[in-house]
Structure 1
Amino acid sequence: MVVVQRIVTRWSKQSRGAAEATRRGALPTALPVPPAPEGAGPLLLHDVLLDEEAGYAPAETVAAHPLPARVAGLALDLREDGVLRVRSTPGFASYPIRRREESLFRLAPGHRGRYLANFRFTGCQCSARWWYEQWTVNVSHGVSPAVFPADGAAFDARADARVSLYGGPSRS
């Protein structure tokens, strides 16, 4: 089974300062994966939202999907040799704009990968409301039970697509 856990941390424009950044930095980057629903397909999506407006209390959903799939900003498919191919999907609703699908990593059975990304969203042209999101997407291919370590170094593959959202230099 493939398990995708996307943890989205969302905050407002007013909370960009160092104190709030420190608070967000202490939020989890991996959580226990709930049991799969009865008769779940080959892909389980555990989607978690940590929203500033809710005091960063986790709001979780679990859903089963067939493969290939487009979920949580990813395109996932199994190749004939059993390797899971993970790509980011295009997105036009935020900065940075992702104009094309990009390969992130490939996972052999028994491996885990982590994808990091961040975004700045605006409500619409008539709204001054901005918000920011940081995504930590953990992917497990055939690791049972799907346990994701908080330490990013413990993953077999990593892709970091984070950029500077506040106008400074890009992250390296």
Structure 2
Amino acid sequence: MDAVVQRVRTSWTKKSRGGSEAARRNAVPTACLLPPGLSSALHEAAMRESDSFEPRMQVRDLSAPGTILREVDGLLRVDPPEVSMFAMPRRNRRPPAVRLAPGQWLQWQINYRFVGSCDGAWSYRLETFNILYGPAMPDVFLGVPARCVDERRSLR
């Protein structure tokens, strides 16, 4: 399967919920340049408040992209990303799968709130999945996607 998935994960705490820290968090990109020559791979970019939102990137194989990808009748079927059973808000109803033609890409965003098991402190995460069906140029995800799915909710 010729597909490239970029998973951009931004994590923060209460510290970055307001003021200048929130402005810094909101300036974090939801797409990054890909390494040159990347094909059929998962490109992960993690940006955490504890690292001053500096991106940590790695390339992995497509065995666990966080969503199910299948080729069906010449299209790439992208099922909704996996959600943590420990995250809020609950998502009992999920959007349907998206089908991409060769050369098209999708941006799927979903956010979460978690409660710490020891201290009860809340933490937050935004995951953005940029998914391309076909060969990738390094700047492919810096443009406008053919399809968008926004599952972001109010996190309180």
TM value normalised by structure 2: 0.86
Report Cα offsets for 1:108-128 as digits up to 9, x if no partner.
11101100111101222x422
TM-superposed CA distance for 1:48, in Å, is 0.8
The aligned residue for residue 137 of structure 1 is 129
The aligned residue for residue 3 of structure 1 is 4
The aligned residue for residue 92 of structure 1 is 85
Q: How does 1:1-172 map to 2 (within 5 A)?
A: 1-35=2-36, 43-65=40-62, 70-72=64-66, 74-79=67-72, 81-88=73-80, 89-99=82-92, 102-124=95-117, 126-145=118-137, 147-151=139-143, 154-166=144-156
The aligned residue for residue 170 of structure 1 is none
Structure 1 runs (4+) greater than 6 angstroms displaced: none
Q: Does the CA contact (< 8 Å) of 1:30 and 1:148 recur in 2?
A: no
Structure with the larger strand share: 1
Q: Report the Cα distance in structure 2 between the residues aligned to 1:118 and 1:92, rounded to whole angstroms.
A: 13
TM-superposed CA distance for 1:107, in Å, is 0.6
Q: Quote the sequence identity (%).
A: 34
Judged with a 3 Å threshold, the aligned counterparts in structure 2 of structure 1 residues 148 and 123 are, in CA distance, closer, same or farther, namely farther
TM-superposed CA distance for 1:103, in Å, is 2.3
Q: Report the Cα distance in structure 2 between the residues aligned to 1:162 and 1:18, rounded to whole angstroms.
A: 21
**5+ residue gaps in structure 2?**
none
Q: Does the CA contact (< 8 Å) of 1:112 and 1:143 recur in 2?
A: no
Q: Report the Cα distance in structure 1 between the residues aligned to 2:37 and 2:86, rounded to whole angstroms.
A: 31
Q: Report the Cα distance in structure 2 between the residues aligned to 1:86 and 1:102, rounded to whole angstroms.
A: 11
Judged with a 3 Å threshold, the aligned counterparts in structure 2 of structure 1 residues 146 and 107 are, in CA distance, closer, same or farther, namely farther
**5+ residue gaps in structure 1?**
167-172
User: What is the total number of aligned residue pairs between the two structures?
Assistant: 154
Q: Report the Cα distance in structure 1 between the residues aligned to 2:8 and 2:130, rounded to whole angstroms.
A: 8
Q: Does the CA contact (< 8 Å) of 1:28 and 1:150 recur in 2?
A: no
* 1:61 match: secondary structure: strand
TM-superposed CA distance for 1:14, in Å, is 2.4
Judged with a 3 Å threshold, the aligned counterparts in structure 2 of structure 1 residues 162 and 128 are, in CA distance, closer, same or farther, namely same
TM-superposed CA distance for 1:149, in Å, is 3.8
Judged with a 3 Å threshold, the aligned counterparts in structure 2 of structure 1 residues 75 and 31 are, in CA distance, closer, same or farther, namely same
Which structure is higher in RCO with an 8 Å CA cutoff and minimum separation 6? Answer: 2
